[in-house]
Structure 1
Amino acid sequence: MSDSIAPQSNVQLPDTLKRSITVFRRRLWTLKLWEASALAVAGVLFGFFFVFIVDRFVDTPAWIRLLILIGSLAVLLVVPWAIYHWIVRRRTLHQVAELLTTTRPAIGDRLMGVIELADNVDEQGRSPRLVRAAIDQVSDDVDHADLRHAIPHPMHGQRSLTAAIMLIGLGCLTGISAAATGNAWSRYLTPWSDVSRFTFTQMEPLPDQMIVAHGEAFDFDVALAGSTESRPEIATARLADGQQTASIDDEGYHFHLPGRYQEGALELSAGDYRGATQLVPVTRPELADIEATIHLPAYLQRVEPIIQTLRGGSLSVVRGSQVELQVNTSRDLRSADINGSPADVSGHAFEVPPQSVQSPSRLTLSWRDVHNLQPAQPFELQLTDVNDAAPTVTADGLPRHQVLLDSETIAYTAYGRDDFGIRRIGLLWHHVDDEGNLIDGGEKVIAAGRPDADLLEATGTFTAKDLERRFDRVAVQLYVEDFLPNRERVLGPISVFDVLTADEHAIWIANQLARWQRQSLDVRDRELKLYQKNSELRRLSKEQLNAPETRRQLQAQARAERANGHRLNRLVGEGESLLAQAMRNPEIGVGHMESWAEMMQVLKDISGNRMPSVADLLRKAGESESLSRSDAARKRLTAGKNRVNQSGKSESDQEDEGDPPAKAPGVTDVESTQLDLSEQKQPKSGPKKASSGRLSLPTTRLAGNAVSDQEPPESEPQENEIDEAVTEQDDLLAEFEKVVGELDKLMANMEGSTLVKRLKAASRKQDAVADQLTSVSQSTFGRDASEAAEAGATLSELSEKLTGYRTDVSYIMDDMDAYYERSRYVQFKTVLDEMRSEDVTGALGQLSNDVVDQSGISIAMAEYWSDTLDRWAEDLVEPSISGSCPGGKSQKSLPPSIVLEVLQILEAEVKLRESTREAQQARPDLDADDYHQRATNLAVEQADLRNRTDLVSQRINELPDAGEHFVKELKKLTSVSIVMTEAVGILATPETGSEAIAAETEVIELLLETKRMCQGGGGGGGGANPGGGGGGDTDVAALALVGAGLNANEVREASRTETNTGNSGTPLPEEFRSGLDQYFHQIQQWNASP
């Protein structure tokens, strides 16, 4: 509808009325738009003030700020609503009149009516005058009415005031802190942005996560930012288990907070500032280890550095060394410093620059990990320079004082020790004058060392032939040199030898024999007195014998008898030692030695059998009323050591066969075995032909698995043949009695002459170690510390012994390898390959290290290697295929003097091999001329032994029927002579290496063949082949029984090994062995602690 009346209308609204309504409408529009605008301004400012005020206390969350912004935007919608509601919908007179009907009904209704009349033509047609009069009347009333108060609900004043107050407040805030106001507007208008809350108190930013030392109190410092507008006097730090306050101090706050064990939040408040960080407890970076690379001084000639891991605070090195350190920590590092200087860091480690150690110094090491943690205290490492210690040298086999034939060779082992390598080991000899002064004589190098040879073990020999001229008394001593320049050589103990010619030695032996005889007569006189006293007691009556006094006398007589037996036994040992020296002198008559041997043998039988028996009878007599006698059976005479304790038929079986002929003494060394011979198949045996055996060249026999395929002869011996055998054997025994004692002693020294015997000896040594370890474990378990300390000393001695045993096995392998290169015997190669695959030397070396700390396991390992070495010795010998040691026709026997000469050649060959090894050891330290001279001397000695061997062959050929009876012996000696000739050529090259050692080893093997003896039936085959034959009567001289061997009373049993490692002694459960190891290990740690 328009503001004018329709054209067809005759009556129009007055201009004054129209003007009044227009003024009212304009005022309505203005006020209502004003109200809406004021409300919008107030709403926006309200949101701002809300955010501003809340931010003063807390950090208003973004979602709340977003809701406030949405609310403010909603308030702004009141403006378009006001425009639409008050302007768009209040444009016409009719719309304004309609509004007035609500606010001023009296005027509004009348105004509505006249507006409708003016628009209604029909009504005007009835009475125009009345219509105009009504319109005029209303117009006049409107003109006189105050329509300013007709506006509905005017709130423009309140809203304007509110908006004005807020604007004033905004202005004030802006004046006070424009930054705070701007920050509030930013956070209010852009709640999604990362705008930090403005605080009047501003701190330096806190990290999201703070790493602290685990369980340790820590300092927490926070500083006020430079832009802070407030500096509160107090700040508060809150933890899960409490809070702590701190006063402002130098533009910040310092807190000392308790240690944390778990992660947790740390909240900080100061004034309107609120901050938080996450505390993460982490252990400090600890030192893992320090790897020291030590470059020794140049004079030590060590190319490779020494790598040493340190876990302590000190390192001692030889003066002049260069030390490089790599420090490894438990965590990746950020930085490190050495004595305050920064160091290069790589991961969890850093390196210390090379340090030249000339004097004591100290390094202070510190580091900081990726969490900015550092050790509680810097690590201090003390570097100490030490002097290059002087070497030491000891010897095994060099006596302090001994009589030496001018043709005799002394073999010994030298041990040199040094901290940083040995240059050489040698031997000095001096002439000793009548006043005891030492006059320089000469020297020779025994072995050349190496820069890395901390322990050098070398075999050496000494003979009067080494001297440029003969001296009556010679003092020898070992010397050792290390690599330190200008250091004097270190000397070992002095050994004095009285060098005698054969004649002088014979005189000395005669004097010693006289002294020995006087001592034996003294023992005899003591025994006669005891015999007389025993005879007196024997004649006492029964009542007197039962008297307490008589019984005490019997007990005293028993003790005296036993003591005299010990005295005589010791005397016999001295006699055997003297006899061994006498046997080396060709000038001493066999008849003289025979007389002495007869006396010694009788005394040996008395001290070993009869005197202990008498002592036992006297002891029993003191306890009972009756006495008994026991007759000792006579044994078959055998030179050599029988370690098997297994013979043919028993004595009871042989008693029924009649009196056999006298048995020829056997020159046989019967080796022990750990095989269970009782489980081996025994050959069928029938009646054996009685035989006296034969005396031949020496052999080594092994108990084995030979089975006879021959049926024993069943014919009975003829009378005339037995008479002839007894007559001939009487002559043989008369000669053998003169030398059988030396034969026995020489056979006892053959342990190292053949590879089989050397392996057997190594096996027995390991078995002895196992027994000793078992004894130590049983005697010290659960005992006090003093006894445990004694056990520790014993174990240390065992460890040193095992080191020497490892060297012995190494020499065996070297000799076996060289011997195989010459002989090409398959069994030697097989055993050698197995020894290498088992790494026996490395295992024995490890055993020497483990024996102290792990005695339980060491027992098992020693038993295992004892069994293994014994098995390898068995494998070297092929089973015999000669049958069951047939008896039958008695063969001719070699004269004992010939056999003795062969054994002396064998002993000399063994010493020659040791001298060859010594020359090879010293070769790197010798010039060409000296080495050539040594090799030439060895070649001369080898040629001399070959000539002696040829002479033995010539003597055998001169025997009656030698071509019939001694074919094997002659063939063997011919082979020996051929190999000796080869050895002479090798040594003269000159060459003392493996080729020469191999040739000498082959000579030794040929001189002493190893065969497997037959098991089972006895009777047949006596003499040198002890396959059977029990006891029997013999009338050989006492010399045949001299020197029963080092272990004549040894009893070897079948191994009870149940597993690869075996058992020894009383079996211990595995769990007990483990406990024993831990027990001794803890004892050692306890003893080592201060």
Structure 2
Amino acid sequence: MRPDALTNENPLHTMKSVNSNLPIEPHHLPERLKSQFSKLKARLWRIELALGVAWGTFAVLVSFLTSFALDRWQDTPSLIRGTLLLGALSAICLSGGWWCWRWVIAQRNLRDYSRLVQRRYRILGDRLLGIVELTEDKSAETSYSEELYLAAVQQVDLDARGCDFTAAVSTRLLSRLGAGSAVLAILTFILLAILPGAFSNTLSRWINPGGNTPRYTLVTIKPNTSEHLAIRGESFFLEADVNYLSFWKPGTVTVQLDSGYQVMGEVQDNRIRLEIPGQFKETSMQMTVGDGMAESKIRPMQRPTLVSLNASIKMPAYLNLKDASIDVESGGLDILKGSEVKVAGAINRPLQEIVLNWGSTNRVPVSISNVTFTTDWLSTTNAFEADIHWKDQFGFTNAQPWKLNIRQRDDAAPTFQFPELYREMAILETEAVELKTEVRDDFGVKEFGIDWETINGVKPSRDVLDVDFKDSSLHAAQKELKVSFYFSPNLYDIEPGDVVELRGYVTDYFPDREPGKTALYRIHIVSAVEHAERIRQQLEALLTQLEDVSRLEQSIATATDETLEKMDTLSEEDLAARLQDQATDQKLNASQLSEMARKGMETLKEAMRNPTFTDEVMSEWSKTLSEMQQLADQKMQDAAKALSKASQSPPSQSPPSQSPPS
């Protein structure tokens, strides 16, 4: 029976109990156990060496592939690439340091191997570790029995025959690391095979994170321009070319603006064309297709605007006028038919192109100089509208064509007026009358005058008319003239009783136009005696009317006195009605007297033309008419107001007494 068959005690304890006084000599393990331990050590050396290599390989592959993946997503910063490389190198150093620690610095002994075996083979218990400890004990003396020691060693050796110490080395972690590394290695070789450019670029950037190696992308984006000029607040189209460098051809494009707005679209025929919403301030945007990225700026601008627009007008040759220049920014142009026009203007930015459509001739030649443009002389025949399109140096145009309305008018006929002459009038044979004239023409008066003759056959010669009753403008630009001609019957031997018929005439510069003429005016020539008789008759009629006014005023005064006498017997309503009627009559009578005074003054002015009336007569009549006017404007009006007020007063207030005018 084995010494430890009944108990599971350490053989060392058993030997101590058998013979504690026998000295123990140093012993050696059986050759079989030594061989087992040697195989275990060799196996463990290989496994841990492979494990260190696997750890380093796994770390390197993970670091590289992570850098590769990040480069597909964005331009990986050198700090991140440096961190990845440092991580891989650290993993290599740690795995190498761990292996050196295990096999160079702090090597395992048989006790460590025994513990490793015991964890795999529980049947050996602590016995294997016990005999190893006894074997390595260097004490000169021992209290253990050599026989028991040998028996224990033989028993452990016998039990260990069915155990493979190399199986105590776990390969699970190595298998997992190896499998992971193999997968990563296969993936790496696949990437090398299908994406050699991206692979070598990532490797170069990974090995030298501080270098200037540009990022390699599988998709390249080439915008039409690095700075997009756009109309402020208006959407525009972003265009770019897409180049695929591999089998991977992503079709979605994403544009991210600084403002946070994002626009997505599709790549069609290797072209990007996206509508970007209007921007109001300068901003940046980033285009992304797959791993390709491109940045550009958006600079909003106002549309080119018209700064000035002038039209030079060449009048028809018959007017002999200088060229005129007018501002037509308002959009309207008024011209005379037959004129020619030259258009000149300026835009707020240098011009690339300008198109001017003129009337029915459509596009006309335009000269461009930086921001200005000029046309040649343009005919206005059948030209009633023009529109202008312009394009600036950036390719921007006006939002809509600028319209110019062309209003053409005919050269109107001139006009002639006698502003202070009656169609029918009379003058004394000795009187000289001033014939005031006003002539007008829209583009200049040429000549004008007066033609006259009497009904009794008095007709002046052409020379007399040209000298005394004809005038002309000083220059072609005179559009309005005011001239007075003087006419006296005695000067042209016109007898009293004759009638002068006259007309005004005027011409302008329009070819072959008939002179413009006024209506027929008639001037009756009267003698001083006949004129004095007419004045006398008018004054006698005025005196007759004055008597009527006086009688009416007497009637109003009488009615007022009767109202005063009956005031106590009349009701309030009747009294007010009578007083109101009398006030109305008083106002009407005052108005009639004022009108008579006015007509009398006009008659008096007419009488002053006649020398037969003496100064004394004129002074007497002037005094009488002034008193009539004063009476109508003051006393009679005051009486009317008093009566009107009394009609609205309580019965206790008596109306004013009324006395007729003298």
Aligned to 1:212: 230
The answer as to whether partners of 2:217 and 2:292 remain within 8 angstroms in 1 is yes
Contact 1:404–1:497 under 8 Å retained in 2: yes
Q: Is the 8 A contact 1:390 1:482 kept in 2?
A: yes
Equivalent residue, structure 2, for 1:316: 334
Match of 2:390, SS?
strand
SS at match of 1:487: coil
Aligned residue identity for 1:373: F
The question of 1:473 aligning with 2:502 is answered: no
Say if 2:554 and 2:659, in contact at 8 Å, map to a contact too: no
Q: How many residues align?
A: 513
Question: Residues of 2 paired with 1:185 and 1:361: CA distance?
Answer: 74
In structure 2, runs of 5+ residues without a counterpart are 1-53, 94-102, 110-178, 358-362, 647-653
3-state DSSP of counterpart to 2:222: coil
Cα–Cα, structure 1 residues 611 and 45, in superposed 2: closer, same or farther, change >3 Å?
closer
Equivalents in 2 of 1:540, 1:61: separation in Å?
123
Match of residue 276 from structure 1: 295
Aligned in 2, Cα 1:559/1:218: closer, same or farther, shift over 3 Å?
same
Counterpart pick for 2:547 among 525, 536, 551: 525
Which residue number corresponds to residue 543 of structure 1?
565
Q: Does 1:460 align with 2:484?
A: yes
Distance change >3 Å, CA 376–CA 612, structure 1 → 2: closer
Q: Matched residues in 2 for 1:353 and 1:186: separation?
A: 67
The alpha carbon displacement at 1:522 in A equals 2.8
Q: CA shift at 1:374, angstroms?
A: 2.9
Q: What displacement does 1:478 show?
A: 3.7
Task: Between the two structures, name the one with larger relative contact order (CA 8 Å, sep ≥ 6).
Answer: 1
Partner SS state of residue 224, structure 1: strand
Q: Deviations over 1:183-221 (max 9, x none)?
A: 557766887887654333333226443333333333334
Q: 1:568 aligns with which of 596, 618, 629?
A: 596
CA contact (8 A) 2:232 2:301 kept: yes
Write the mapping of 1:599-998 to structure 2, written as runs, cut at 5 A: 600-601=621-622, 603-612=624-633, 615-616=636-637, 618-619=639-640, 622=643, 623=646, 624=654, 627=657
1:299 pairs with one of 304, 318, 339: 318
Instruction: Give, in angstroms, the shift of residue 292 of structure 1.
Output: 2.6
1:55 to 48, 59, 71: 71
Matched with 2:151 is: none
Q: CA deviation at 1:492?
A: 4.1
2:516, 2:306 → 1: CA distance? Answer: 42
Instruction: Give the Å deviation of 1:448.
Output: 0.9
Q: Is the 8 A contact 1:203 1:228 kept in 2?
A: no
- CA-based RMSD: 5.2
Alignment of 1:361-510 (within 5 A): 361-405=384-428, 408-411=431-434, 413-420=436-443, 422-431=444-453, 433=455, 442-443=465-466, 444-454=469-479, 456-464=480-488, 470=494, 472-498=498-524, 500=525, 504-510=526-532
Deviations 1:221-262 (A, max 9, x none): 434348786542322233445433223334323333433344
- Partner Cα distance (2:230, 2:537) in 1: 89
Distance 2:104 2:592 in 1: 159
Kept in 2: contact 1:394–1:493 (CA 8 A): no
Q: Deviations over 1:947-969 (max 9, x none)?
A: xxxxxxxxxxxxxxxxxxxxxxx
Structure 2 letter corresponding to 1:582: N
| Cα shift readout 1:766-794 (whole Å, capped 9, x = no counterpart) | xxxxxxxxxxxxxxxxxxxxxxxxxxxxx
Tell me how far apart the structure 2 counterparts of residues 193 and 318 of structure 1 sit (CA, whole Å): 78
* Residues 304 and 347, structure 2, Cα contact 8 Å, conserved in 1: yes
- 3-state SS of paired residue (2:433): strand
1:877-921, Cα deviation, whole Å (9 max, x unpaired):
xxxxxxxxxxxxxxxxxxxxxxxxxxxxxxxxxxxxxxxxxxxxx
| Structure 1 residues 606 and 561: alpha-carbon distance in aligned structure 2, compared to 1, 3 A threshold | farther
Contact (CA 8 Å) 2:601, 2:622: kept in 1 or not? no
Q: 579, 583, 588: which one pairs with 2:607? A: 579
Q: Aligned equivalents of 2:312 and 2:207: distance in 1?
A: 67
- Secondary structure, counterpart of 1:600 in structure 2: helix
1:1028-1087, Cα deviation, whole Å (9 max, x unpaired): xxxxxxxxxxxxxxxxxxxxxxxxxxxxxxxxxxxxxxxxxxxxxxxxxxxxxxxxxxxx
- How far, CA to CA, are the matches of 1:481 and 1:307 in structure 2? 27
Task: State how far apart, in whole Å, the 2-side matches of 1:542 and 1:479 are.
Answer: 69
Displacement of 1:529 after TM fit? 2.7
Conserved? CA contact 2:340–2:377, under 8 Å: yes
User: Among the aligned pairs, what percent are the same residue?
Assistant: 21
Partner of 1:88: none
Mapped to 2, the partners of 1:323 and 1:211 lie a distance apart of: 36
Contact 1:214 1:282 in 2 (8 A): yes
Does the 8 Å CA contact 1:235/1:247 hold for their aligned counterparts?
yes
Check whether the contact 1:569–1:604 (CA below 8 A) recurs between aligned residues.
Answer: yes
Higher gyration radius (CA):
2
- Residue in 2 that maps onto 1:516: 538
| Structure number with higher strand proportion | 2
Whether the aligned pair in 1 keeps the contact of 2:455 and 2:501 (CA below 8 Å) is no
* TM-score, reference length from structure 1: 0.40
Q: 1:528 to 1:562 in 2, by over 3 A?
A: closer
Once residues 557 and 100 of structure 1 are traced to their aligned partners in structure 2, the CA distance between those partners, rounded to angstroms, is 149
Q: Which moved more, 1:177-186 or 1:62-71?
A: 62-71
Give me the whole-angstrom Cα distance separating, in 2, the residues matched to 1:581 and 1:477: 25
Instruction: Give, in whole Å, the separation in 2 of the partners of 1:186 and 1:342.
Output: 61
CA distance in 2 between partners of 1:212 and 1:331 (Å): 15
Q: Which runs of 5+ in 1 are unaligned?
A: 1-37, 79-98, 106-160, 584-588, 633-1090
SS in 2 for 1:450: coil
